[in-house]
A and B are shown apart, each in its own frame.
With several copies, the nearest count.
Chain A
Amino acid sequence: MTNFFSRVGKQLDDILVSGARSSARRFGRRSALAKLGGFLVGGAVVATLPFDRGFAATGEKPAPIDDDKTCDYWRYCALDGNLCTTSGGSKTSCPVGAEASQVSWVGTCHNPGDKRDYLVSYYDCCGKTPYSGAQFCLHSKGERPGYSMGLHNDINWCMANANKGYHCTVAIVLGVAE
């Protein structure tokens, strides 16, 4: 069985120690909590914290590994859904006219390009008819039932949006999973 939780636990400690700043991206912390295998505590936590992502633009991007339109692309190790890369979006962007989900689930995937494990956040794109030609994938590395909601990929992650129709899924790198 995976050691996902112990890894996450360690990373969490690292982050707390390093004082890294919190993300302003669009997942609610309720979800971020869930992501880390946690328990949802009930009640809305809507505030987001400031985040300096200046350095994000400076890092040299690793050469693309594999084909992000196929299920075997490394980021998709816990993705259950249609690839947005084959639905008019990209691996990090929803197609035109879709809405990004407010909440998301995570996986820990190994990037063969730099031999690192990454925390990947899967967002659904919402509110549109699925494209019948989209590539559907099902990978469940580290996946858990709904009691670890942030790791659960059977559910419609458009659930917190006003428009809940499932369209496709993107895979966002959150950071290295040490």
Chain B
Amino acid sequence: MSGKWAAAVLSLAVLAPCAVRAQTPPPIPAEEISVEKALKPGPNVFVTTGSWGGAGAIYVFSADDLAYKGDYSTGMQPQFALSPGADTGVVASAFPKRIMYGPVEAIIQKFDVSTLKTQQEATILPKFAQVSPQQGQIQVSSDGSRALVQNATPATSVTVVDLKSGKVTAEVPIPGCWQINLAPDGAHFSSLCGDGSILTVRLGADGKAAGQARSKPIFDVEKDPLFAQSQRVDGDLMFVSYGGVFYRISDKGDTAQLVDTYAFAKAIPGEWTPGGYAIMGYSAPYGIMFVAMHPGARDGGHKDGSEEIWAVDLAHKTVLYRSAAKGLTQIAVSQGKVPLIFGVASHGGGLFRFEVDPTAKFAAKLTHQIALRDAAAVTVR
């Protein structure tokens, strides 16, 4: 057998374009498979897609037209953070031994956005919170040296990872508190707590907890709880409540301080409230906070998709414009001269792009939309 088949093996390796080149038009020449080396240039928008039964992904789309560019594979229930330069992604996810059961291996992966290649993989604590992708579950210091990940057993804690060494430096218990709001220098973080206070945890250069302090109650968990999302506004943290009140918090000191509140929805008829998961996006150049809003406030309606996006001028405490925007549950705002709002409709499965006109009261106009199953969180710089 071997002689005959060895000959066949050789002969079969010679598949190649054949000699019909004399004809017109010439036949398609033999092609070669290749692999795209880098994402097409241009700004990107990132969508985290989770799964309860298998691999998740960070999808990368063109911020210009929502053209799909590529994805980075993750384990189950990924949580994603993007570097300030938008060139590096950091994602935490879970890999159970038998997918649906068995011991969990939770890891952080750092990847290069342009090549979608893994740069680093570090094991974190398996108690990593398996929660639908949302803001503040993972945070990275602006120099990229430190990552923090939310845990829940359901007792809550935060895993601190030194991304230089790839080692976990600490697990910081944050009993009764939730969501990581890391200061840009990575030296301390704040979390919302179930008694309405805010916990501030300081971290040493060694990545271990160096002290913590809880503020007085700042918000009312019963009457008007805060969404677990923040935006950084002139160095402060801005939260929004179920009822539509901005809470501006200074996290600079040892203890978080309430700077201001602003009930931006109060004067507008229709019982409008924010709804979704990441419902605020801030345009720093213009000082405008965009909020996903829907009318008809009701208990349990805080995850309902949007009917409108409101542009709120924080300096002048004015709702400048209300743009139509259906079904969004997460939004993110780019920081350019023409602010772009990207929205995900996680209940329906879609990704949307809006252009904002700063000369028209920050009206937002839908320019692109695509269907996108399991879209859960959206990130842009």
User: Chain A: residues with CB nearer than 8 A to chain B?
Assistant: 1-6, 11-12, 14-16, 18, 20-23, 25-26, 29-43, 45, 48-49, 51, 53, 55-62, 77-78, 86-90, 92-100, 103, 111, 114, 116, 118-119, 121, 123, 125-133, 138-150, 154-160, 162-167, 170, 172-176, 178
Contact at A148–B225, with CB atoms within 8 Å? yes
Interface of B is mostly: loop
Q: Does B334 contact A (CB under 8 A)?
A: no
Q: Does B206 contact A (CB under 8 A)?
A: no
B131 neighbours in A (Cβ, 8 Å) = 146, 154-156
Contact at B13–A31, with CB atoms within 8 Å? no
Task: A20 to B11: give the CA distance in the assembly, Å.
Answer: 10
Who on chain B is nearest to A157 by CB? Answer: B154
Q: Can you offer 6 A-B residue contacts whose CB atoms are under 8 A?
A: A22-B16, A34-B154, A42-B175, A163-B100, A170-B33, A175-B16
Q: Does B323 contact A (CB under 8 A)?
A: no
B13 neighbours in A (Cβ, 8 Å) = 22-23, 29, 32, 48-49
Least CB distance from B125 to A in Å reads: 12
Pick from B28, B60, B152, B222: contact of A149, CB under 8 Å: B152
Task: A53 to B11: give the CA distance in the assembly, Å.
Answer: 18
**Which of B134, B221, B242 has the most CB atoms of chain A within a 10 A radius of its CB?**
B221
Indicate whether A41 sits within 8 Å of B33 (C-beta atoms), given known contacts A3-B222, A163-B101, A178-B18. Answer: no
Least CB distance from A106 to B in Å reads: 9
User: Chain B: residues with CB nearer than 8 A to chain A?
Assistant: 1-2, 5-6, 8-21, 25-39, 49, 52-53, 55-57, 59-60, 68-74, 77, 94, 96, 99-104, 114-117, 127, 129-132, 134, 150, 152-157, 173, 175-179, 191-195, 221-228, 242-243, 277, 299-303, 347, 370-374
Least CB distance from B243 to A in Å reads: 6
Pick from A90, A145, A157, A159: contact of B227, CB under 8 Å: A145
Contact at A2–B29, with CB atoms within 8 Å? no
A32 neighbours in B (Cβ, 8 Å) = 9, 12-13, 15
Pick from B28, B101, B130, B192: contact of A147, CB under 8 Å: B192
Least CB distance from A27 to B in Å reads: 8
Contact at A37–B221, with CB atoms within 8 Å? yes
A170 neighbours in B (Cβ, 8 Å) = 33
Query: How many pairs of residues, A versus B, come closer than 8 Å at their CB atoms?
Result: 353
Least CB distance from B244 to A in Å reads: 11
Contact at A5–B18, with CB atoms within 8 Å? no
Contact at A160–B154, with CB atoms within 8 Å? yes
A114 neighbours in B (Cβ, 8 Å) = 25, 27-28
Contact at B33–A142, with CB atoms within 8 Å? no
Pick from A55, A145, A165: contact of B226, CB under 8 Å: A145
A53 neighbours in B (Cβ, 8 Å) = 29-30, 32
Contact at B225–A29, with CB atoms within 8 Å? no
Contact at A96–B18, with CB atoms within 8 Å? no
Who on chain B is nearest to A77 by CB? Answer: B300
Task: A63 to B18: give the CA distance in the assembly, Å.
Answer: 20
Contact at B17–A175, with CB atoms within 8 Å? yes
Contact at A39–B175, with CB atoms within 8 Å? yes
Indicate whether A129 sits within 8 Å of B16 (C-beta atoms), given known contacts A56-B31, A141-B300, A165-B96. Answer: no
Pick from B1, B28, B194: contact of A61, CB under 8 Å: B28
Indicate whether A128 sits within 8 Å of B73 (C-beta atoms), given known contacts A93-B34, A146-B178. Answer: yes
Contact at A29–B300, with CB atoms within 8 Å? no
Pick from B30, B38, B100, B374: contact of A173, CB under 8 Å: B30
B21 neighbours in A (Cβ, 8 Å) = 55, 59
Task: A53 to B30: give the CA distance in the assembly, Å.
Answer: 8
Contact at A56–B115, with CB atoms within 8 Å? no
Task: A154 to B77: give the CA distance in the assembly, Å.
Answer: 11
Task: A23 to B301: give the CA distance in the assembly, Å.
Answer: 31
Contact at B18–A14, with CB atoms within 8 Å? yes
B103 neighbours in A (Cβ, 8 Å) = 162
